Amino acid sequence: IIATGAKPSIPPIHNIQKNGTLLDGVYVLRTIDDGKQISSCIKNGGKATIVGAGLIGLEMADALYKKGMDVTVVELLPDILASTLDSDMCKPILKEMSEKINVYTNYLVIKAEEKEGKIKGVLIQDKETNKERQLKTDVLVIAAGTKPETMLAESIGCKIGKTGGIVVDERSGTSVKNVYAVGDCTQYSDFVTNEPLSVGLGSIVVRQGIAAGINAAGGTYNLPKGFLLTRTSKFFGIEIAAVGPVKDACQNIPVIYGKFKGSSLPEYFPGGKPISMKVGVHEKTGEVLSAQAVGYNTAQRINTFACAILSGVNVEDFKKLETAYAPPIAPTLDVVTLVCDVASLKRMRKRRIP
Amino acid sequence: IIATGAKPSIPPIHNIQKNGTLLDGVYVLRTIDDGKQISSCIKNGGKATIVGAGLIGLEMADALYKKGMDVTVVELLPDILASTLDSDMCKPILKEMSEKINVYTNYLVIKAEEKEGKIKGVLIQDKETNKERQLKTDVLVIAAGTKPETMLAESIGCKIGKTGGIVVDERSGTSVKNVYAVGDCTQYSDFVTNEPLSVGLGSIVVRQGIAAGINAAGGTYNLPKGFLLTRTSKFFGIEIAAVGPVKDACQNIPVIYGKFKGSSLPEYFPGGKPISMKVGVHEKTGEVLSAQAVGYNTAQRINTFACAILSGVNVEDFKKLETAYAPPIAPTLDVVTLVCDVASLKRMRKRRIP
CATH number, domain at A119?
3.50.50.60
Alpha carbon separation from A251 to A193, A228, A247, A310, B103 (Å, rounded): 9, 17, 7, 21, 60
In B249-341, DSSP assigns E strands to: 255-263, 274-282, 288-295
Per-residue model confidence (pLDDT) at position B235:
96
Q: Is residue A243 part of a domain?
A: no
**Could you tell me the pLDDT band of residue A30, with boundaries at 50, 70 and 90?**
confident
Decide if pLDDT at B354 tops 80.
no
Q: Is residue B243 part of a domain?
A: no
For residue B216, give how far its alpha carbon lies from the nearest alpha carbon of chain A (Å).
18
Q: Which of A145, A172, A192 is the last residue of a domain?
A: A145
Q: What tens digit of pLDDT does each residue of A161-194 get?
A: 999 999 999 999 999 999 999 999 999 999 999 9
CB-neighbour burial class of residue B177 (10 A; exposed 0-12, middle 13-18, buried 19+) = exposed
Are B296 and B264 spatial neighbours (Cβ–Cβ below 8 Å)?
A: yes
Determine the average pLDDT of the residues in B47-64: 96
Q: Which of A126, A145, A164 is the last residue of a domain?
A: A145
Taking an 8 Å cut-off on Cβ atoms, the answer to whether A223 and B320 are in contact is yes
Q: In chain B, how long is the greatest CA-to-CA distance?
A: 69
CB-neighbour burial class of residue B127 (10 A; exposed 0-12, middle 13-18, buried 19+) = middle
Q: What tens digit of pLDDT does each residue of B186-200 get?
A: 999 999 999 999 988
Count of beta carbons in the 10 Å neighbourhood of residue B62: 20
Determine the average pLDDT of the residues in B56-79: 96
A82 alpha carbon, distance to own chain's centre: 8
Could you tell me if A203 and A287 lie in one domain?
A: no
Q: Is residue A235 part of a domain?
A: no
Interface A:B, Cβ pairs < 8 A? 176
Of A246, A320, A249, A323, residue with least CA distance to A290: A246
Give the percent of chain A with pLDDT over 90: 95
Comparing A32-46, A59-73, B77-91, which segment has the lowest mean pLDDT?
A: A32-46
Taking an 8 Å cut-off on Cβ atoms, the answer to whether B233 and A322 are in contact is no
Mutate to test the interface with B, among A322, A334, A336 (most CBs of B within 10 A): A322
**Could you tell me the pLDDT band of residue B67, with boundaries at 50, 70 and 90?**
very high
Taking an 8 Å cut-off on Cβ atoms, the answer to whether B322 and A297 are in contact is no
Could you tell me if B87 and B197 lie in one domain?
A: yes
Helix pair A298-310, A335-352: axis angle to 10 deg = 50
Per-residue model confidence (pLDDT) at position A207:
95
Could you tell me if A91 and A194 lie in one domain?
A: no
Could you tell me if A267 and A327 lie in one domain?
A: yes
Per-residue model confidence (pLDDT) at position B30:
87
Neighboring chain B residues of A56 at a CB cutoff of 8 Å? none
Neighboring chain B residues of A207 at a CB cutoff of 8 Å? 320, 322, 333
Q: Is residue B247 part of a domain?
A: no
The helix or strand, by DSSP H or E, that contains position A280, with its residue range, turns out to be: strand A274-282
Taking an 8 Å cut-off on Cβ atoms, the answer to whether A304 and B299 are in contact is no
Q: What tens digit of pLDDT does each residue of A84-109 get?
A: 999 999 999 999 999 999 999 999 99
Neighboring chain A residues of B303 at a CB cutoff of 8 Å? 300-301, 304, 321, 323-324, 334, 336
Helix pair B335-352, B298-310: axis angle to 10 deg = 50
Neighboring chain B residues of A297 at a CB cutoff of 8 Å? 297, 300
Q: What is the C-alpha R_g of chain A? A: 22
Determine the average pLDDT of the residues in A21-47: 92
List A112's β-bridge partners, or say none.
A122
Q: What tens digit of pLDDT does each residue of A278-305 get?
A: 999 999 999 999 999 999 999 999 999 9
Neighboring chain B residues of A229 at a CB cutoff of 8 Å? 322
Q: Which residue on chain B is closest to A310 by alpha carbon?
A: B321
Decide if pLDDT at B105 tops 70.
yes
Helix, strand, coil fractions of chain A, as percent rounded to 5: 25, 30, 40
Count of beta carbons in the 10 Å neighbourhood of residue A70: 17
Neighboring chain A residues of B321 at a CB cutoff of 8 Å? 228, 230, 303, 306-307, 310
Count of beta carbons in the 10 Å neighbourhood of residue B270: 7
Taking an 8 Å cut-off on Cβ atoms, the answer to whether A330 and B306 are in contact is no
The per-residue pLDDT of chain B, averaged, comes to 96
The helix or strand, by DSSP H or E, that contains position A91, with its residue range, turns out to be: helix A87-97
- Helix, strand, or coil (residue B278): strand
Least CB-CB distance to B228: which of A206, A224, A322? A322
Per-residue model confidence (pLDDT) at position B353:
58
Q: Is residue A268 part of a domain?
A: yes
Are B169 and B181 spatial neighbours (Cβ–Cβ below 8 Å)?
A: no
Determine the average pLDDT of the residues in B26-45: 91
Starting at the edge strand found earlier in the chain, the sheet holding B255-263 runs B231-235, B238-243, B288-295, B274-282, B255-263
CATH number, domain at B308?
3.30.390.30
Give the percent of chain B with pLDDT over 70: 99
CA distance B94 to B81: 10
Taking an 8 Å cut-off on Cβ atoms, the answer to whether A332 and B206 are in contact is yes
Of A315, A302, A321, A301, residue with least CA distance to A347: A315
Could you tell me if A106 and A200 lie in one domain?
A: no
* Pairing state between β A107-115 and A118-126: antiparallel
Alpha carbon separation from A19 to A15, A23, A141, A185, B60 (Å, rounded): 10, 9, 19, 28, 72
DSSP one-letter code for B296: T
Cα distance between the two ends of chain B: 53
Q: Is residue A239 part of a domain?
A: no
Mutate to test the interface with A, among B189, B307, B313, B335 (most CBs of A within 10 A): B307
Least CB-CB distance to A234: which of B231, B320, B328? B328
Alpha carbon separation from B57 to B50, B107, B199, B300 (Å, rounded): 6, 15, 16, 23
Q: Which of B229, B244, B271 is the last residue of a domain?
A: B229
Taking an 8 Å cut-off on Cβ atoms, the answer to whether B299 and A330 are in contact is yes
CA distance B34 to B28: 7
CATH number, domain at B198?
3.50.50.100
Could you tell me if B308 and B222 lie in one domain?
A: no
Q: Which residue on chain B is closest to A210 by alpha carbon?
A: B320
Taking an 8 Å cut-off on Cβ atoms, the answer to whether B330 and A232 are in contact is yes
For residue A179, give how far its alpha carbon lies from the nearest alpha carbon of chain B (Å).
22
Neighboring chain A residues of B231 at a CB cutoff of 8 Å? 324-326
Determine the average pLDDT of the residues in A314-329: 96
Per-residue model confidence (pLDDT) at position A353:
57
Neighboring chain A residues of B211 at a CB cutoff of 8 Å? none
**Could you tell me the pLDDT band of residue B96, with boundaries at 50, 70 and 90?**
very high
Taking an 8 Å cut-off on Cβ atoms, the answer to whether A321 and B336 are in contact is no
Of A88, A98, A353, A60, residue with least CA distance to A235: A60
CA distance A212 to A218: 10
Taking an 8 Å cut-off on Cβ atoms, the answer to whether A329 and B232 are in contact is yes
Cα distance between the two ends of chain A: 53
The per-residue pLDDT of chain A, averaged, comes to 96
**Could you tell me the pLDDT band of residue B213, with boundaries at 50, 70 and 90?**
very high
Could you tell me if B205 and B348 lie in one domain?
A: no
How many domains would you assign to chain B? 2
Taking an 8 Å cut-off on Cβ atoms, the answer to whether B329 and A232 are in contact is yes
B141 alpha carbon, distance to own chain's centre: 18
Determine the average pLDDT of the residues in B268-273: 96
Handedness of CA A10, A11, A12, A17 (dihedral sign): negative
Q: Is residue A234 part of a domain?
A: no
Q: Which residues of B197-229 are buried (b: 16+ CB within 10 A; e: fewer)?
A: bbbbbbbbbbbbbbbbeebeeeeebebbebbbb
Q: Which residue on chain B is closest to A244 by alpha carbon?
A: B322
Taking an 8 Å cut-off on Cβ atoms, the answer to whether B203 and A322 are in contact is yes
Q: Is residue B291 part of a domain?
A: yes
Residues 6+ apart with CB under 8 A from B98: none
Q: Which residue on chain B is closest to A237 by alpha carbon?
A: B328
Of B233, B230, B334, B343, residue with least CA distance to B275: B334
DSSP string for residues in B140-198: EEE---EEE--HHHHHTT--B-TTSSEE--TTSB-SSTT-BB-GGGEEEEBTTT--EE-
Could you tell me if B275 and B346 lie in one domain?
A: yes
Q: Which residue on chain B is closest to A231 by alpha carbon?
A: B324
CA distance B28 to B11: 11
Taking an 8 Å cut-off on Cβ atoms, the answer to whether B232 and A326 are in contact is yes
For residue A11, give how far its alpha carbon lies from the nearest alpha carbon of chain B (Å).
26
Neighboring chain B residues of A322 at a CB cutoff of 8 Å? 201, 203-204, 207, 224, 227-230, 243, 306, 310
For residue A138, give how far its alpha carbon lies from the nearest alpha carbon of chain B (Å).
28
Q: Which residue on chain A is closest to B303 by alpha carbon?
A: A323
CA distance B93 to B82: 13
Structural domain span for residue A154: 147-216
CB-neighbour burial class of residue A271 (10 A; exposed 0-12, middle 13-18, buried 19+) = exposed
Q: Which residue on chain B is closest to A203 by alpha carbon?
A: B332
Q: Which residue on chain A is closest to B321 by alpha carbon?
A: A307
Neighboring chain B residues of A315 at a CB cutoff of 8 Å? none
Taking an 8 Å cut-off on Cβ atoms, the answer to whether A320 and B223 are in contact is yes
Per-residue model confidence (pLDDT) at position B307:
98
Could you tell me if B206 and B295 lie in one domain?
A: no
Helix residue ranges, H only, A182-297: 202-216
Count of beta carbons in the 10 Å neighbourhood of residue B245: 24
Mutate to test the interface with A, among B215, B300, B348 (most CBs of A within 10 A): B300
Neighboring chain A residues of B301 at a CB cutoff of 8 Å? 300, 303
Decide if pLDDT at A18 tops 90.
no
DSSP string for residues in B241-263: EEES--GGG-TTS-EEEEEEEEE
Decide if pLDDT at A352 tops 90.
no
Decide if pLDDT at B166 tops 90.
yes
Taking an 8 Å cut-off on Cβ atoms, the answer to whether B325 and A301 are in contact is no
Could you tell me if B260 and B176 lie in one domain?
A: no
Least CB-CB distance to B303: which of A230, A312, A336? A336
Could you tell me if A102 and A155 lie in one domain?
A: no
Q: Which residue on chain A is closest to B313 by alpha carbon?
A: A311
Q: What tens digit of pLDDT does each residue of B106-163 get?
A: 999 999 999 999 999 999 999 999 999 999 999 999 999 999 999 999 999 999 999 9
CA distance B166 to B208: 13
Could you tell me if A298 and A193 lie in one domain?
A: no
Of B217, B137, B114, B135, residue with least CA distance to B171: B217
CA distance B288 to A265: 28
